Amino acid sequence: ELRGTLYDRIGPEALRSLLERFYARVAETPELAEVFPGSRDSSLWATTLEKQFAFMSGFLGGPPLYHQRYGNPMLRARHLPFAVTPDRAHTWLACMQAALQATPEIDHDTAAELYMALSRVAQHMVNSSES
Ligand code: HEM
């Protein structure tokens, strides 16, 4: 890849803007928001965003902040307490698609690559067949 890692192409500032837009959308989508701790205490959205920022930093080829702060992500295991249904995975990805479209700092090709990578992870997180 001539233009480097997705992290190099996006950068920490645009990544943070993307995730702010993403969790704002998640928070206003009740059937998805209800599984997040922020739905019970809205101050917890900030923690959720920080963890996701740390994870994505490493996932996109940048500094492995999640590993440094919290250890091995074991993402599927960490999602087991939450009912990730196919509908919720689909809605998670729709929120991400909308957040990408609202983040012009991320060019279209980069956004498409990021979306494809996240679709695979989201499918892997499905752990429940009913809401
Ligand atoms: C944590 C839901 C997909 C990465 C969480 C939490 C929930 C959740 C409820 C707990 C938040 C908290 O404790 O503050 C979902 C749902 C998904 C999904 C419904 C739909 C498929 C993904 C994907 C990724 C991801 C695709 C990665 C690209 C993370 C990370 C954490 C997390 C890094 C923090 C884990 C921890 O340290 O506890 N997710 N998630 N999630 N999620 Fe997801």
Substitution candidate for ligand 1 out of 23, 29, 52, 76 with most atoms within 8 A of CB: 52
CA–centroid distance, 102 to ligand 1, in Å, is 21
Give pairs for 95-99: CB < 8 Å, separation 24+.
Answer: 95/22, 95/25, 95/26, 95/29, 95/32, 96/22, 98/21, 98/25, 99/18, 99/19, 99/21, 99/22, 99/25
What is the pTM (predicted TM-score) of this model?
0.96
Question: What's the CA-to-centroid distance between 76 and ligand 1, angstroms?
Answer: 9
Return the domain boundaries, the chain: 6-125
Residue of 9, 30, 22, 93 lying closest to 53 (CA atoms)? 22
Q: Is 55 in the pocket of ligand 1 (CB under 6 A)?
A: yes
CA 1 to ligand 1 center in whole angstroms? 28
Name residue 82's amino acid. Answer: F
Question: Which tokens is 82 given?
Answer: 């939450």
Check if 35 has its Cβ closer than 6 Å to any atom of ligand 1.
yes
User: End-to-end CA distance of the chain, in Å?
Assistant: 40
HSE-up (13 A, CA, CB side) for residue 40: 3
Interval 66-101: pLDDT, tens: 999 999 999 999 999 999 999 999 999 999 999 999
Rg (CA), the chain: 14
Instruction: For residue range 98-123, list pLDDT tens digits in order.
Output: 999 999 999 999 999 999 999 999 99
Query: What does the pLDDT look like over 51-72, one tens digit per residue?
Result: 999 999 999 999 999 999 999 9
Q: Which fold, 6-125? A: Globin-like (1.10.490)
Q: At residue 3, does pLDDT exceed 90?
A: no
CA of 2 to the centre of ligand 1 (A): 31
Regarding the beta carbon of 119 and ligand 1, being less than 6 Å apart is answered no
